[in-house]
A and B are shown apart, each in its own frame.
Chain A
């Protein structure tokens, strides 16, 4: 065994296992059997490729090896006898399937079918996301558990229950018929966006996994756009993810400190991703019924377009948040709307909106409400009230970079205050 082959197989596993698994699930009709077949195939590859070299098309080799291994295993297991007959009876179609596997569209179809299975409404929402990450993105149970901050045993149980239900209730493995597609695509979009935000929002945990999550979500987003180019929300979601992801390198310092949008070095934003995202937004805004993802993407595109924070078109951003409030009302959208209004009409006006929102108590435990109030109070020169609001935010924030940012702000304000102290006394 050479180190080169080891690396090659490792690379194949990282980049191809999700696709290979999707095809094996179609050929074998069972999640667990397919997963075992995948591990088997890579095990055989390690031995055989060392002797005989890497085959011309490793992916096809891995699929057919996995499939044959699984059928051998199932023949020895009485529970699967009828299944093996089904697969054998489908031998011709399985070969056709292997042909389809030669071209990219066949593979992507397999992955799409799998997305719809993983996002089936008969599966609990929290399991839909976990199952998508496990089967489509190829994350390990440990990695998923870590990113959702639940014990590994809890996550393992959740996944077992979900795959068990797919098998027992026979949740189909196919792209839904057009009559059901709108409802089902909403569920799939929501799951893809959750995968993205899981990778993007938090700054704790394994940076590499988080980067992969964002990359996977964008790849899934592209697949959905290809499947449903006429649905504006698929383009809207892809645009939203591209535009946010474009800022990734500028939003965190090498030391892991959070950089606010207004303070980011805009030359470090990914221009080609911004251009692609902006084109997608413009296309989806031409649709007759503009959805929440497209509106959020349009807001992100306006930020991306501004050469500096002061150059930002806040008037249009505030108008888009108002539209979003109409289409998809939520307290967090209300909070963002208030912040945008403060940029257009001044901090007093923003504070009025934030205080009205705060009075309803729905965001009592949300640190960003307190932080937004603190920022507006700071801009109004109400230092004492601003410090109290920052302290409130600090008491609610859990992520370390956010906590350090809030602490920095409090220190700055205190210093500023003591500068003035002698003059006041």
Chain B
């Protein structure tokens, strides 16, 4: 079963992080990604550019509308994600709690819908 782990953080707070802290954090993420790749949980994942680089697209009445900004303004913004394989929710929550960003932001754990073929 697959779960998408959505990593939310406050971009304004993260922007004030010192350069050496940023280097440390990247190291922590690398170590974490390696460990879940080795254990066979890792299916994919990326960090994202800040929310102010987002563009939202809707098609209404056959016409495309593109607007600047993310879908919703929230206190914490989506900053990255992992796609993981796990036996059940407990295993997925166990992986989520080890994501470095869980210590300052929040991780939303969403089961991936399995569509019968």
- Category for how many chain B residues contact A: 10 to 19
Kindly state the separation between the CA atoms of A82 and B93 in the bound complex, as whole angstroms. 25
Give every chain A residue within 8 A of B116 (Cβ-Cβ): 78-79, 81-82
Residue of A nearest to B3 (CB): A169
B68-112: CB near A (< 8 Å → 1, else 0) gives: 000000000000000000011110010000000000000001010
How far, in whole Å, are A347 and B89 apart by their CA atoms in the complex? 54
Please measure, in the bound complex, the distance between the C-alpha atom of A176 and the C-alpha atom of B94, giving whole angstroms: 12
Instruction: Out of A81, A168, A176, name the residue touching B90 (CB < 8 Å).
Output: A176
- The one of A81, A82, A168 in contact with B111, judged by C-beta atoms closer than 8 angstroms, is A168
Decide yes or no whether A368 CB sits under 8 A from chain B.
no
Interface secondary structure of A, over-half rule: loop
Taken residue by residue from 262 to 297, chain A's Cβ proximity to chain B (1 for < 8 Å, 0 otherwise) reads as 000000000000000000000000000000000000
Interface: A51 (CB within 8 A): no
Q: Is the CB of A169 within 8 A of B89?
A: yes
Residues of B within 8 A of A170 (CB): 1, 87-89, 111
- The interface residues of chain A lying within 8 Å CB-to-CB of B87 are 170, 172
Distance in Å: Cβ of A187 to nearest Cβ of chain B = 13
- Residue A171 lies at the interface, judged by CB distance under 8 Å to chain B: yes
Q: How far is the CA of A122 from the CA of B3 in the complex (A)?
A: 14
A172 and B111 form a contact (CB under 8 A): no
Q: Give Cα A78–Cα B116 distance, bound, in whole angstroms.
A: 8
Select one of B88, B109, B113 contacting A172, CB under 8 A: B88
Complex Cα distance, B88 from A78, in Å, reads 23
Considering residues A78, A172, A176, which has the most beta carbons from chain B within 10 angstroms of its beta carbon?
Answer: A172
A80–B92 Cα gap in the complex (Å)? 23
List residues of chain B with CB within 8 A of the CB of A79. Answer: 116
Complex Cα–Cα for A180 and B97 (A): 13
Chain B residue numbers with a CB within 8 Å of A176 are 90
A273 to chain B, nearest CB (A): 37
Q: Which residues of B contact A180 (CB under 8 A)?
A: 90
Complex interface: chain A residues within 8 A of B93 (CB): 122
* A-side contacts of B111, CB under 8 Å: 168-170
Shortest Cβ distance from A79 into B: residue? B116
Identify which of B88, B90, B93, B113 gathers the most chain A CB atoms within 10 Å of its CB.
B90
Q: Separation in Å of the A19 CB from the closest CB of chain B?
A: 23
Q: How far is the CA of A168 from the CA of B2 in the complex (A)?
A: 11
B88 to chain A minimum Cβ distance, whole angstroms, is: 4
* Complex CA distance for A170 and B109, rounded to whole angstroms: 12
Residues of B contacting A122 in the complex (Cβ-Cβ under 8 angstroms): 89, 93
How far does the Cβ of B10 sit from chain A's closest Cβ, in whole Å? 24
Q: A78-B116, A172-B90 are in contact. List 8 more A-B contacts (CB 8 A).
A: A82-B116, A120-B89, A170-B89, A170-B111, A171-B88, A171-B90, A172-B87, A180-B90
Q: List 20 A-B contacts (CB under 8 A).
A: A79-B116, A82-B116, A120-B89, A122-B89, A168-B111, A168-B113, A169-B89, A169-B109, A169-B111, A170-B1, A170-B87, A170-B88, A170-B89, A170-B111, A171-B88, A171-B89, A171-B90, A172-B87, A172-B88, A172-B89
- What are the 9 tightest A-B residue pairs by CB atom distance, in nearest-first order? A172-B88, A169-B111, A170-B88, A169-B89, A171-B89, A172-B90, A170-B1, A170-B89, A168-B111
